[in-house]
Structure 1
Amino acid sequence: MDISYFHFFLVAIPVVLIVGISKAGFGGGLGVVGVPAMTLIMGPVEAAAILLPVLCFMDLFGVQKFWRQWNVPAARLLIPSAMAGIALGTLTFAYMNEHVLKLILGILSLAFVANTLRKPTQSGRQGSAIAGRFWGTVTGYTSFVAHAGGPPVNMYLLPLRLPKTEYVATTVLFFAVVNYVKLIPYYFLDQLYTEHLFKSLILLPFAYLGVILGVFLHTRVSDKVFYQLCYAFLAVVGIKLIYDGVTGF
């Protein structure tokens, strides 16, 4: 095997397993780990293109598992707004360079870690339409750029204090729609070419394994332990990305 492929799978396989476990067993918030971690061995645009079909594959299992358990008002508010964010990402794609993307990814990574310290302050009531549209648009953009929609969408959903299953189901539905819509601009921007799709295809069995492990570990491993380890890893990667982004200018 070519050494570049060896390095790719050395990083990509654990990343896909972590994302799969998170999606199926722990709410899916750690999808933001994927692109930042893979930028250790490749450019962020390439990493995002390879991961998108893998995420779409995982989404099929998530939607099936949480079918019709999502919060309908929140989904109706967030999904159309996310489409605007995806459109904005498509229009600005040509102006994004590697150093800008790394800086954005680094900031989003640290923002996601910092957001875990934020405690909900509301009592289960529906959030404002303005907040939903704003965070939905931001989520669509950050998800398009780097599959990093977790931090902004949580800024809206977490304060609602939804029941755990309803919260997870809402994020599963939301990101399933967003990820499948993103396939369209990714195709027209020539990001889904043969080599990327080949790597995505090879990763699908590990994506499925991650989903199976997530279901198995859901009631066996503490959410706190799993996320603390992953947040620590994400914080280190985020700091490195910010450093690389700043020094690259």
Structure 2
Amino acid sequence: MKEYHAQPDSLAGKTILITGAGAGIGKTLALQCAEFGASVILLGKTVKKLELVYDQIEALGKQQAAILPLDLKGATEQHYIDLTDTIKREYGKLDGLVHNASQLGVLVPFAQIEKSIWDEVIQTNVTAQFLLTKALLPVLTLAEHATTIFTTSAVGNQGRAYWGAYSVSKFATEGMMQVLADEYENSTLRFNAINPGATRTAMRAAAYPAEDSTRLKTAEDIMPSYLYLLSDDSIEVTGQRINAQ
């Protein structure tokens, strides 16, 4: 899977929504999905960043992207319902959903976690993903083979001191994926989680400010696992936790 080579038209005809699409892994994945033929829906909170990604996709001369500005910290259930209605009206179905956006919070001892930070991390990393997935299930079922990718972490599989709210949120993410995979085992929907590993992103820099980032894999380096799970080559794969490195 880490060595997967997507074919030029492997995502042709597919509509894929990516959260946190304005930067980092989300931006790189959006460009890759467009390159391989998908219509990409860019969801994020910063319109300017999304517009820059949109322009880069336009420059590829591929399928036109769409921008959906939404702040996961403040979005209500109705926002996700309205978003689903828009996708159904404009595209008729949704083939892929990538939960890429995450909130790190603050790395401190458990006893020092402020409730406001806890609430923010859980809202973005768990509640928003629950509401978005729940709302989009009807349009995912309209696709011939639909895939949902959650983003997990090493600390979502083995708890680590000081990672508090973020670690707990990633345990919840993996649990959500497993519940959905089990419920939809005999359907056209599949649910998996990717652990990107140590990657050269702004979140990684915030967690490890003294680290030499040039020694890390880039977002481009870890794309094969994402492209594999988004393609029909993975239609038998569900309920898996996959390490991209």
Shared fold (TM-score greater than 0.5)? no
**Structure with more strand by fraction:** 2
TM-score (norm 2): 0.29
Kindly indicate whether structure 1 or structure 2 has the higher relative contact order, using CA contacts under 8 Å at least 6 residues apart. 1
TM-score (norm 1): 0.29
